[in-house]
Amino acid sequence: MVDPEAFVKEQVEQIQQIVDGPAIIACSGGVDSTVAAVLAGKAVPQHLTAVFVDTGLMRKDEPQQVERIFEDMGIELDFVDARDRFFDALEGVTDPEEKRNVVGEEFIRVFEEEAEGLEAEYLVQGTIAPDWIESGDETRDTIKSHHNVGGLPEKMDLEVVEPLYDLYKDEVREVARHFDLPVAERQPFPGPGLAIRTLGEVTPERVDVTREACAIVEEELEQAAEEGKMQRPWQYYAALLPVQSVGVQGDVRAYGETIAVRAVDSLDGMTASFSEVPLDVLDSISTRITNQLGDHVNRVVYDVTNKPPGTVEWE
Ligand code: XMP
């Protein structure tokens, strides 16, 4: 386990040694990038600009929440609306690895453009150990290219600084608690966002469906945890599957897509077991999703796969 005080001291010194000019911090509002931002903010406040990219692939109301979190922490945020360019870049892309690479590359291009204006030379990222372990190298197989590792384009004009490179999620949370950050207990959310929870084509319309379904799953499981019906899972979300099946709506035949509900318990994301969600909670989730998203979705399934052999995300 990490000693937060010693870790912060060591990393602040290290960042100070590396970063001697303008730097940008990629902030998603998640615990990893927020901790990285705070460390960099302590180390080189004179050089820093925090950048948030709205990819259009975030969870419901997330961009506004992120703005608020940084405002509360007193860190100025440069907000970039890049929704159109992400959807353009993802047009026609259905392969999971290609999606990850497209999102990774687009992120870097946006940051490069922002950096150019600021004459920045460094990019601080919240990469953590499982990101690069699963992305593979000469000695490891690629499980999936995390957007901030394998997704990086070969030619990049910014030097990447990754203060959390050797930490696991639970250790990052320890550091976040040490700083008393409001995001310390937030569930993880993947960098490629809803693109990898929207299996098949990533269109704004399909992503809207995934976003709404994710919000329903989050609300229902958090409420169930508050009511003491279950423990809050480590991670919980909905994935939209491009699998159509026959159903009935009213007394009319329906032929819609499928939502897979995923909830897992884990310590660090490297292994996970599916959460034992009470059936009445699954019933509420299913009813709300099919009522609210009935134009698009007519079937809801619960994923009972552990990791391994599954992974937490579907792509
Ligand atoms: P998997 O699907 O690999 O997920 O079992 C393990 C944890 O990592 C998150 N994840 C990502 N996080 N960039 C990230 O920042 C990514 O590309 C990425 N892919 C997966 C996933 O949500 C889970 O918490």
Cβ 233 under 6 angstroms from ligand 1: no
pLDDT for the residue numbered 9:
97
Chain mean position to CA 20: 29
| Cα of 197 from ligand 1 centre, angstroms | 11
Among 97, 102, 127, 131, the mutation site with the greatest number of ligand 1 atoms within 8 A of its Cβ is 131
Cβ 28 under 6 angstroms from ligand 1: no
| Cα of 163 from ligand 1 centre, angstroms | 18
Dist. CA 164–CA 291, nearest whole Å? 42
CA-nearest residue, atom 24 of ligand 1:
188
Among 146, 273, 315, the mutation site with the greatest number of ligand 1 atoms within 8 A of its Cβ is 146
CA-nearest residue, atom 21 of ligand 1:
190
pLDDT for the residue numbered 289:
98
CA-nearest residue, atom 7 of ligand 1:
269
- If DSSP codes are grouped into helix, strand and coil, which group holds residue 200? coil
pTM for the model: 0.85
pLDDT digits (tens, 9 = 90+) for 144-169: 666 565 444 445 578 999 999 999 98
Chain mean position to CA 69: 16
| Cα of 36 from ligand 1 centre, angstroms | 17
pLDDT for the residue numbered 152:
47
CA-nearest residue, atom 22 of ligand 1:
190
With 0-12 CB in 10 A as exposed, 13-18 as middle and 19+ as buried, what is 76? exposed
Dist. CA 210–CA 218, nearest whole Å? 12
- If DSSP codes are grouped into helix, strand and coil, which group holds residue 123? strand
What average pLDDT values come out for the chain (315 residues) when binned by 10 residues?
Answer: 95 97 88 93 90 94 85 81 98 97 92 86 91 70 60 64 94 94 87 96 98 98 98 97 94 95 93 98 98 96 98 98
Tell me how far apart the terminal alpha carbons of the chain are, to the nearest angstrom: 30
| Cα of 313 from ligand 1 centre, angstroms | 7
Half-sphere exposure of 199 (CA within 13 A, CB side): 14
Atom number, ligand 1, closest to the C-alpha of residue 187? 24
CA-nearest residue, atom 20 of ligand 1:
190
- If DSSP codes are grouped into helix, strand and coil, which group holds residue 23? strand
pLDDT for the residue numbered 151:
45
